[in-house]
Amino acid sequence: MAGRMTESDFFQNLDSPVPKGLENRLNRLVKKRKAGWPMAYLLGKKEFWSLEFKVNRWVFIPRPETELVVEKVLSLPLPEKPRILDVGTGSGNIAIALAKELPSARVIASDLSKRALKIARENARKNQVKNVEFVQSNLLYFFLKSNLLFDLIVSNPPYVAEKEWKKLDRPVRDFEPKRALVAGPSGLEIIEKLIKQAWFCLKPGGYLVMEIGATQEKTVLELFSSGWGQMEILPDYSGLPRVFSARKD
């Protein structure tokens, strides 16, 4: 056992000395944890929707409240073979969870970051989903040019304001990718662009579902123009506004 030990190995060798390589690795992990590194980055994985996802510092760590986005999508009256776009896919957690639940769907996962897309592709293989494609795009620009239309656009976009960045917990502020969290001075810059672009990429009757900040409910509602209907905001496990959905009429 050169530097690695499974749980089974551990219990079968309780009386044996810990291999030096494993001891050194453990000490390095302990030092990083004491320095504030998130546990998911140290382990290199995070569970989401009962699936395991590889994560590193190039992608935002999936949160339990984002599972509410998946739940909302699955409650919608989508076509039998929906075309779905996940914008800013990161580790691919939303896209892959939906692909698992909707095997007849065609899911496209997009991200501006090539490194994030590489991780998302690995997670698709890891979770054995084949109905997901990956596209590099700055928000919806690629799809606006290609004239692709979707039954559903889903996203967990950056929604933190620049001034709020320094107030975040240290593990988030110091280790997770700022670009995946901070949208700009108000925190609504990306959401506003997403709403405007989604109108041109959704089929009539298509849905936009996205995660929002806990204090953004009223302002997000004001960003929607006429032509949108069935607007709904769902609370997270703490009762705070978290998941916004709207239908293109």
pLDDT digits (tens, 9 = 90+) for 40-50: 999 999 999 99
Is residue 19 predicted with pLDDT exceeding 80?
no
- In the chain, the number of structural domains is 1
pLDDT at position 215 is: 93
The yes-or-no verdict on residue 23 having pLDDT over 90 is no
The pLDDT, as a whole number, for residue 32 is 72
In a domain, 137, yes or no: yes
Taking residues 195-219, report their average pLDDT.
97
For residue 49, which of 104, 113, 127, 105 has the smallest C-alpha distance?
A: 127
Per the domain annotation, does 32 fall within a domain?
no
SS3 (DSSP) at 133: strand
pLDDT at 17 over 80: no
Lowest mean pLDDT across 14-28, 116-130, 139-153, 211-225: 14-28
Please report whether residue 14 resides in a domain.
no
The verdict on residue 4 lying in a domain is no
Q: Write down the mean pLDDT value for the chain.
A: 92
Residue 237 forms part of a structural domain: yes
H or E element: which one contains 234?
strand 228-235
Looking at residue 5, its pLDDT comes to 62
pLDDT for 8 equals 78
Q: Is residue 93 part of a domain?
A: yes
Tokens representing 57? 């510092």
What CATH number is associated with residue 151? Answer: 3.40.50.150
pLDDT in tens, 237-247: 999 999 999 99
- Asked, for residue 79, whether it belongs to a domain, the answer is yes
Phi-psi region of 161 (alpha: psi -120 to 50; beta: other; left: phi over 0): beta
| pLDDT surpasses 70 at 208 | yes
Q: How far apart are CA 168 and CA 93, in angstroms?
A: 23
Print the domain residue range for 224: 57-248
Percent of the chain with pLDDT over 70: 91
The stretch 16-34 carries a mean pLDDT of: 71
Residue 9 covered by a domain: no
**Residues annotated as catalytic (active site), given as ranges:** 60, 156-157
- pLDDT tens digit string along 50-94? 999 999 999 999 999 999 999 999 999 999 999 999 999 999 999
Residue 2 has pLDDT above 60, yes or no: no
Containing 71, the helix (H) or strand (E) segment is helix 67-74
